[in-house]
Structure 1
Amino acid sequence: MSTFKAALRVVAAHPLYLTIYALVISLMGAFIVLSSSASASSETTEYEPCAAEVAIVDRDGSPLSQAFTRHMGDLYALVDVADEPRELQDAIVTGRADCVFVVPEGFGDELVRAARAGDELPQIEEAYGVSTQASALSGVEAARFSTLAGSAAALDGGAGLEEVAAMALSAAAERADVEVHATPSSGGVAADGVKLYLQFGSYAITSSVIVCVGLVFSAMSRPEVKRRLGAGPQSHAARDAAVFASCLVLTLAVCALSSLVGVVALRDYVAALPALHVALALVANFAFGLVPLSIAYLCTSFGAREEVLNAVGNIFAMVMSFLGGAWIPLSFMGAGVAAAAHFAPTFWTNQAIAAVLDVEALTPATMGSYFTSVGITLLFAVAIAAVGLSVARRRRA
Structure 2
Amino acid sequence: MQVSKAFFKVALKRLPSIIPYFIIFVVVALVMTGNSKENADFSSQKLDLVVIDNDDTEASRELKKYLLKGNNEKTLRSDDDEYIQDMLYHEMIDSVITIDKGFSDKLTTGETEGCIEALTVPSTFTSQYSNSIIDRFVTSAEMYVSTGSDPAEACRKAAEMSDTTTNVELSTQKSPLGNGLAYYCQYYAYIIICIIINGLAPILMRFFSLDIRRRIDVSALPLYKKNAVIIGVTSAFVFAVWMAMMCIAQATYGGFFTERGMYCLLNSFVLTLVVTGIALVVSVMCKSIDGISGITNVISLGMSFLCGVFVPADLLGGGVLSAARFLPVYWYIKANNMICGLAGEVYDANGILRSIAVELLFAAALFTVFMVLSKKKMHDTE
Q: Is 1:23 matched with 2:10?
A: no
Corresponding residue for 2:344? none
Q: Is 1:374 matched with 2:356?
A: yes
TM alignment of 1:287-326, pairs within 5 A: 287-326=270-309
Q: Given the superposition, is the C-alpha separation of residues 124 and 24 from structure 1 closer, same or farther in structure 2, using an over 3 Å criterion?
A: same
Residues 60, 99 of structure 2: 8 Å contact kept: no
Q: Given the superposition, is the C-alpha separation of residues 13 and 367 from structure 1 closer, same or farther in structure 2, using an over 3 Å criterion?
A: same
What residue identity is the alignment partner of 2:356?
Answer: V
Tell me the secondary structure at the aligned position of residue 120 of structure 2.
strand
Corresponding residue for 2:217? 230
Query: Mind listing any 5+ residue stretches in structure 2 that lack a counterpart?
Result: 342-346
Residues 108, 161 of structure 1: 8 Å contact kept: no
TM-score by length of 1: 0.73
1:124-176 residue CA offsets vs partner (Å, 9 max, x unmatched): 34227xxx9xx626733532422552576599689999569828943761434
Cα deviation for residue 343 of structure 1 reads 4.2
Matched length:
370
Residues 29, 197 of structure 1: 8 Å contact kept: yes
TM alignment of 1:45-56, pairs within 5 A: 49-56=43-50
Cα deviation for residue 330 of structure 1 reads 2.9
Query: 2: CA distance between counterparts of 1:164 and 1:333?
Result: 52
Corresponding residue for 1:78? 73
Percent of residue pairs identical: 15
Residues 348, 377 of structure 1: 8 Å contact kept: yes
Query: 1: CA distance between counterparts of 2:299 and 2:337?
Result: 22
Residues 49, 73 of structure 2: 8 Å contact kept: yes
Provide the alpha-carbon RMSD of the alignment.
4.4
Residues 307, 321 of structure 2: 8 Å contact kept: no
Cα deviation for residue 123 of structure 1 reads 7.3
Q: Is 1:257 matched with 2:257?
A: no
Query: 2: CA distance between counterparts of 1:302 and 1:107?
Result: 80
Cα deviation for residue 184 of structure 1 reads 7.1
Corresponding residue for 1:361? none
Corresponding residue for 1:166? 155
Q: Given the superposition, is the C-alpha separation of residues 315 and 70 from structure 1 closer, same or farther in structure 2, using an over 3 Å criterion?
A: farther
Query: Mind listing any 5+ residue stretches in structure 1 that lack a counterpart?
Result: 359-364
Tell me the secondary structure at the aligned position of residue 8 of structure 2.
helix
Residues 149, 165 of structure 1: 8 Å contact kept: no
TM-score by length of 2: 0.75
What residue identity is the alignment partner of 1:10?
Answer: V
Tell me the secondary structure at the aligned position of residue 48 of structure 2.
strand
Larger radius of gyration: 2
Q: Given the superposition, is the C-alpha separation of residues 61 and 162 from structure 1 closer, same or farther in structure 2, using an over 3 Å criterion?
A: same
Query: 1: CA distance between counterparts of 2:164 and 2:23?
Result: 50
Residues 33, 197 of structure 1: 8 Å contact kept: yes
Q: Is 1:277 matched with 2:277?
A: no
Query: 2: CA distance between counterparts of 1:343 and 1:81?
Result: 64
Moved more, 211-220 or 75-84: 75-84
Corresponding residue for 1:199? 186
Query: 2: CA distance between counterparts of 1:103 and 1:88?
Result: 15
Q: Is 1:140 matched with 2:129?
A: yes
